[in-house]
Structure 1
């Protein structure tokens, strides 16, 4: 399998990445028009952790982590490694030694739709990981692949330099050109949610705040007492 290693791809501006880091995955996903999720199958190895950074992408052969080794050289401060394979794989392609090398270079975490291992060590060293599997199954280093090319995870395309936001809810990608706009929309959404939260704390119902009573009526949903519904007492 021939491949390519692309050096110095364009990246989202650090200030825009920092702005997006203030928001959760659910908020960013909604701000993006409910697009960009990398799939519900990606689960965090840790809890209560949120990161944002620029993607360094890896396309590897299943069960072969050669291209992750190649990608380490391309990683720098503020990056997040994003790894996928040419066909589905659950092998433990990433572990503590990779994390050590990447942490030294300022990388903020890893996202892969394959597997990770050394999970306790990753948590202990504070290196966040999101993966589709956890597996002790090892890999070889024998097949070419690519680094810093567009890849697809969970139906979403990730290009090198796009922004990755990850937390307990999953992982979302924001195109680098849309980072600032998405941050602005995320902020507006949080402000709107804050107002709604205050209203709920005062006792207002979502049915009234969102005008959903009319929706129920339009859908033919009826209110009936228990006696009317069951015929009890007749």
Structure 2
């Protein structure tokens, strides 16, 4: 059992390395499905559908968009995670769900999606970290590391101090940093102990998402190799 858990943890850490988060409203005038496919082609290792904010899709339109995103992720063998919407995730058999502290409680989500699906939880302090560990979260998200405009409800900038502290205290829990991360500033996040970085705007708003992702991949590979 412990060996299986270690293998799962190692796999999750690999999948978190370059974690793309996007909704239909994040790509401006660009076709979001085209942006996603270019990002997948470039080599993102995980994708989260976060369909929130003004003009976000709802109902059948949201489900159709989610299924289209899921199909692309399956083609590139990349995990497809749904943010917050547990009903949608269950309905389309997504690979997992990510929840924040203001969403449905992680314990209930784990019970609803089962133990074999990926569960990610946003945490902002040690007590939230311990709660995530207790309910069997597969990874935690921490941030915003830097100033971000992608989330209207973003918490105050936290830097990398919490990532460093939590990765030291709980090394078995995979951590992904999020918030204002770019090719130019991601290194301190990994150096602090994160398994990977979550990107929204730097990819979703890029003129060429494929080239942007390739730059991330090359830079991250150099950072991982040198650590």
Q: Does TM, scored on the shorter chain, surpass 0.5? A: no
TM-score normalised by structure 2 residue count: 0.33
Name which one, 1 or 2, has greater alpha-carbon Rg: 1
- Larger relative helix fraction: 2
- Larger relative strand fraction: 1
TM-score normalised by structure 1 residue count: 0.32
